[in-house]
Every structure is written in structure tokens, then in C-alpha cells.
Amino acid sequence: MTTSGRATLAQIAHEAGVSTSTVSRALRGRGEMAAPTRARILAAARRLGYAREDEPRGRPRTGTARLFDLVLGHYHDPYTDEVTAGAHQAAAELGYDLVLTAESDDPGDDWPIRVRGRGSAGVVLGLIRPTLSQLTVLRDAGIPIVLMEPPSEPSVELTSVRTTDRAGAAEAAAHLIERGCTRFIVVAGAPAYRYGRARVEGFTRTVEELLPGAPLMRVQAGWEAVQARQAVLPALRSLPGSGPVGLFACSDEMAAGAYRSIAELGLGVPADVRVVGFDDVRGARYLQPGLTTVRQPIREMASAAVRALVDPDLPIGSVIELPTTLVVRGSTHAG
């Protein structure tokens, strides 16, 4: 291993308080090592201006494996299954394999080192908030990174793929008003991710503009059916006014939980409460009645994220936004 002349392994070892062999293993991404130790070594290398002469830069890298990494916090639910399918199809069409990599909150998780070690040609990070040190490992190795539906705005300049969350929710609000709703409940997700905040804002602003003074109650719940059910029950009991209720949930899973609350109170969908979800994952159409929802083009977004990894004309930091579509089913049928 050689350097650009700005620093040596010995200098980095002295700075980080480790041996030169440990520095070498950390920089190459080889062997087992405690995450804090590796992070300390990489930070020392950056401070000293260390760079490998043989480290390729740019997009895409040459001499790498013909594979991409898809990094998600979890797998095997309706949303991530769609992400995986879209990413796999795009990778195959480009002549690459797709590696599924799980990210965890464990501070010892060294998935960026593993990605770098196998020579990945690019990484799509879906629905996760990578740390600065994790991003640094990938960027220092010249590995292109694209974020798909990031939960928050990235702290460094990165290309991202997302959907029209605010506009989709605004369309849901207008639809519920058109279907005769005069009072409203918004089920916001907790934690309040970037896309969740945009959906709540788009919905509430549209109701306030189109139906000023209409009762509108906002509740927060975890992004799953059980938590949404628990949050919606007291909201339905205490919502002032009379007339049909328009309920907007920030995900289809939360909308399914709202169905349960409505039934427990002896109310009906859509006779008493008209419900709109968000995502259009499988299962939305099989609720009884079928769920009206804002379709997020999940497969297309995953495909676009993979293709962005090898697009030489796409500036880093670009935001690729794919439009939502309102899919109308029985849950908002006015009868």
C-alpha cells in the first residue's frame, strides 16, 4: 500500500494510538475490528490527508465487482419487498448482481466495511439514516451512494430518490372533501420522518384552504396498525361536529389500524368514516372495503435509485422525484 506523500501508515497509527498493521487492516476493510477503533483510524487518516494511490474515484468505479448493494433496515414486508423487486430488476438489466445488506442500530455493525471489502460498484440506502462515519467509509472508497426515500435530509451532498409526498396528501384531502367529508382526522407517523411531515402538511393545508374552519384533529402513532388503532379510537370519540369523517393515514398499515378502530366503535367505512392511506402496498386492495390510497411508485423509485448509481451525467446531490397517484377504492365511496 502506497500513499500520495501526505501521510504514512506509521503517522496514522501514532495519531490513532494503534499499530501500523491495525491501520492497514482498517484502511483495507479486512479482518475483525471494533467499530470505534476502525472509526478512530479512519478519522485520523482523513485528518492527516491520507489517500491510497490505487483507490479509484468517480462513478462508476473501474475494476470493481459487478454488483450493487441494497441496504435496508429490515426486509420481508410489503414495502421492502417492492423495493427489492424494483432494485433487482434494474440491476439485472444493467448486468449487475444485487446484494441485500441489512443495517442495524448496533454500533458494532460494520456493513460499510463489508460493502467496501467486496468491491461494490454502488450502494442504494433505503429508508435509513446512515451516520457520517458510515458515509465516509463509502465515499472515501469512491463508492457511489444514492438514497431512496430518506427519512431526513442528508448531512452531506448525496443523490436521492423520493416521491411527491406533499402533493399526494393534498390530493387525498381534496378527494375526501369532494366525497362529502366535513371533519377530519390525520394519523401522523412517529417518529416524524421527512416524508411523514410532508404528508401531514400537504393534507392539513389543503383542508384549511378548501374548507376553512372544518374540525381537524391530528394524532400521532407508530408506523404500524396496532399503534394507529390505539391512537384513532380516542380521536373518533372526541372529534367535534357532525357529518362524515375524512381520515387520512400516512401509510396503508396505519389505515388498516384505523379500520379496526372504526369497527370497534360500531361505525362503518365509508358510511361514517371515509379513509385514505398512503403507499398502495399489496393488501390495500384486499381490505374490506378496498382502501383508497395514494400510490407511491415504490418499484420505480428503487429502479431509478439503482440506475442513478451508474449515470455519469447525473450530478451528485440531485433529487429525483417520482409522482404519486390517487387510487380510488371502496373506502371513500360516498354511496
More confident residue, 201 or 41: 201
> How far from 305 is each of 117, 125, 229, 309, CA to CA, in Å?
22, 9, 34, 7
Mind listing the pLDDT tens digit for each residue in 221-244?
Answer: 999 999 999 999 999 999 999 999
CA atoms within 13 A on the CB side of 292: 25
Q: Give residue 4's pLDDT.
A: 43
More confident residue, 311 or 42: 311
Q: Give residue 205's pLDDT.
A: 98
Q: Tell me the C-alpha distance between 190 and 106, whole Å.
A: 21
Whether the CB-CB separation of 299 and 163 falls below 8 Å is answered with: no
Q: Give residue 54's pLDDT.
A: 43
Residue % of the chain over a pLDDT of 90: 67
Whether the CB-CB separation of 75 and 98 falls below 8 Å is answered with: no
Q: Which range is least confidently modeled, 18-27, 119-128, 215-224?
A: 18-27
Q: Tell me the C-alpha distance between 307 and 210, whole Å.
A: 40
Q: Tell me the C-alpha distance between 319 and 322, whole Å.
A: 10
Q: What is the mean pLDDT of residues 45-64?
A: 57
Other CB atoms within a 10 A radius of the CB of residue 278 amount to 30
Q: What is the mean pLDDT of residues 21-44?
A: 72
Mind listing the pLDDT tens digit for each residue in 136-178?
Answer: 899 888 899 999 999 999 888 999 999 999 999 999 999 999 9
Q: What is the mean pLDDT of residues 318-328?
A: 97
Whether the CB-CB separation of 188 and 218 falls below 8 Å is answered with: yes
Query: Mean pLDDT score of the chain, rounded to an integer?
Result: 90
- Cell readout for 199 is 404528508
Nearest to 175 by CA among 294, 33, 319, 9: 294
User: Residue 331 above 80 pLDDT?
Assistant: yes
